């Protein structure tokens, strides 16, 4: 049985809400008890709407946010409490791709220098060896060698994106966290970007954690999906099961909200009302109960735990 390459154990990331005089008056539980195992080679999707905590989760895994509680295990080693110096070594294998990887390039550095930088920081390769590796990566992302002497603003946005990805790949990481990789892109460009990701995954044998609010993207890319709502996973399982037979009422509403061209119009009878509650002031019990058509007293008293329900897991007292 293969070992999980990345494991989260009841991870919590809370942000203090400060009132006057910098006193802590409350906290926003951006991530409130998330656990999952990431298997090597898979594409794991984290989907949810704004405020659900998926981006915070991605950054916490990377060490950009410090977890308030819980554990993060990577390749058998616990990484959540490491010193910054020890953390740097981990970053070699665990990388993070921003929504716009092109923005991760220093505008005053030539592209070649930006590509060399990860290798300079993490490896002892000499200039020639670094050069060779960079050229092979450029080829893998479909960019010509001539780009090495250009500045980011001298190439198009799409090419900047590829350079940003190439930079991450120079370290041959094992796991890459993709944070909203297609957000803001036109549909036709999205398709190109997604096929680029797929190709890179095969070439470099990568494992992805794909964070997105776009269900269509999740559906085409991911093998397993976890749905997040207000800091917790409410349902997880294989992609097809999540989309075809959702069990949690929130998942059902998400799937119901996607327009299906050629089919029935979803907006006509869309049933989910209202908005998510204030994250600083969560409802008691199940946090979805204020909008859930099935809510009962039990839901107000007791928060449902994420429990296995083949083929995945659901956190609901009355799953479908």
Partner 1 sequence: MKPGWRRGLGRFASDRASALGLALLLVLIVAAIFAPILAPFPGDVADFHTANRLRAPDAVNWLGTDRMGSDLLSRILFGARITITIAVVAVGSAVLVGVPIGLVAGYYGGWPSNLLMRVSDIFLAVPQIVLAIAIAQTLGPSIENVILALSITYWPFWARLVFAETRSLKNEVFIESAIALGASPLRVMTLHVLPNIASAIIVRTSIGMGATILTAAALGFLGLGAPPPTPEWGRMIAESREFLPEAWWYATVPGVAIFMVVMGFNLLGDGLRDFLDPRIRRGAGVK
Partner 2 sequence: MTALLAVEDLSLGFATEAGFASVLDRVSLSIERGQVLGLVGESGCGKTTLARAILGVLPRETARITGGRVSFRGTDLLTADPASVNQTIRGRAITFVPQDPFTSFNPVFTVGDQIMEILKWKSPRADQPHGRGWLPAVVSRYPADRKRLDFDAVLELLDAVQLPRPDQMLRKYPHELSGGQRQRLMIAMALLPGPDLVIADEPTTALDVTIQAQILGLIRRLATERNVAVLLTTHDLGAAYEICDAVNVMYAGQDVESAPVDRFFAAPAHPYTTKLLASLPDADGTARGIPGEVPGLITPPGGCRFHPRCERADGPCREERPPVDQLGGGHWVRCYHPHREAT
Q: What is the DSSP string of 147-163?
A: GGGS-GGGS-HHHHHHH
User: Cα separation of 36 and 96, whole Å?
Assistant: 18
Does 98 bind partner 1 (CB under 8 A)? Our answer is: yes
Of 143-151, 161-169, 264-272, 311-319: span binding partner 2 (CB under 8 A):
264-272
Does 122 bind partner 1 (CB under 8 A)? Our answer is: yes
Indicate which of partner 2, partner 1, none lies near residue 26 (CB less than 5 to 8 Å, by partner kind): none
User: Cα separation of 235 and 312, whole Å?
Assistant: 8
Does 89 bind partner 2 (CB under 8 A)? Our answer is: no
Of 17-25, 138-146, 230-238, 267-275: span binding partner 2 (CB under 8 A):
267-275
Residue from 49, 75, 117, 131 binding partner 1 (CB under 8 A):
117
Full 3-state SS string of 107-133: CCCCHHHHHHHHHHHHCCCCHHHHHHH
Q: Which residues lie below 8 Å from residue 27, measured CB to CB, with a gap of 6+?
A: 14, 15, 16, 17, 280
Of 96-104, 216-224, 276-284, 295-303: span binding partner 1 (CB under 8 A):
96-104
Of 19-27, 89-97, 181-189, 276-284: span binding partner 1 (CB under 8 A):
89-97
Does 262 bind partner 2 (CB under 8 A)? Our answer is: yes
Q: Which two tokens stand for residue 320?
A: 């479908």
The pairing of beta strand 77-78 with beta strand 69-74: antiparallel
Indicate which of partner 1, partner 2, none lies near residue 37 (CB less than 5 to 8 Å, by partner kind): none
Distance in Å, CB of 85 to partner 2, minimum: 39
Q: Which two tokens stand for residue 293?
A: 């058509």
Q: Which residues lie below 8 Å from residue 127, measured CB to CB, with a gap of 6+?
A: none
- Complex with partner 2: residue 81 or 158, whichever CB lies closer: 158
CB 138 within 8 A of CB 145: yes
Does 104 bind partner 1 (CB under 8 A)? Our answer is: yes
Distance in Å, CB of 167 to partner 1, minimum: 8
Residue from 153, 158, 284, 296 binding partner 1 (CB under 8 A):
153
Does 107 bind partner 1 (CB under 8 A)? Our answer is: yes
Helix (H, G, I), strand (E, B) or coil at 230: coil
Q: Which residues pair with 209 in a beta bridge?
A: 44, 177
Of 29-37, 191-199, 203-211, 281-289: span binding partner 2 (CB under 8 A):
191-199
Residues in the site for partner 1, rule: CB under 8 A?
A: 62-64, 87-89, 91-92, 95-96, 98, 100, 103-109, 117-118, 121-122, 151, 153-154, 164, 167
């Amino acid at each position: 049985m293969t070992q999980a390459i990345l494991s989260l154990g009841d991870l919590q990331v809370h942000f203090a809400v400060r009132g006057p005089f910098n006193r802590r008056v409350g906290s926003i539980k951006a991530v409130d008890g998330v656990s999952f195992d990431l298997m090597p080679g898979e594409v794991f999707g984290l989907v949810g709407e704004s405020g659900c905590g998926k981006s915070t989760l991605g950054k916490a895994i990377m060490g950009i946010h410090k977890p308030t509680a819980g554990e993060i295990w990577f390749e058998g080693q616990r990484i959540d409490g490491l010193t910054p110096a020890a953390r740097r070594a981990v970053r070699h294998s665990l990388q993070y791709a921003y929504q716009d990887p092109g923005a991760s390039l220093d505008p005053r550095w030539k592209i070649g220098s930006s590509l060399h930088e990860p290798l300079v920081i993490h490896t002892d390769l000499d200039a020639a060896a670094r050069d060779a590796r960079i050229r092979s990566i450029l080829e893998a992302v479909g960019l010509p060698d001539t780009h090495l002497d250009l500045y980011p603003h001298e190439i198009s946005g799409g090419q900047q994106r590829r350079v940003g990805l190439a930079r991450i790949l120079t370290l041959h990481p094992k796991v890459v966290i993709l944070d909203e990789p297609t957000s803001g892109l036109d549909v036709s460009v999205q398709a190109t970007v997604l096929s680029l990701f797929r190709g890179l995954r095969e070439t470099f044998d990568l494992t992805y954690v794909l964070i997105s609010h776009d269900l269509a993207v999740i559906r085409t890319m991911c093998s397993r999906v976890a749905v997040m709502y207000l800091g917790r996973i409410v349902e997880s399982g294989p992609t097809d099961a999540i989309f075809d037979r959702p069990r949690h009422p929130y998942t059902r509403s998400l799937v119901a909200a996607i327009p299906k061209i050629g089919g029935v119009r979803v907006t006509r009878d869309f049933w989910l009302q209202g908005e998510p509650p204030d994250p600083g002031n969560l409802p008691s019990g199940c946090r979805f109960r204020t909008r859930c058509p099935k809510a009962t007293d039990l839901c107000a008293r007791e928060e449902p735990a994420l429990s296995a329900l083949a083929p995945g897991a659901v956190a609901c007292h009355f799953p479908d």
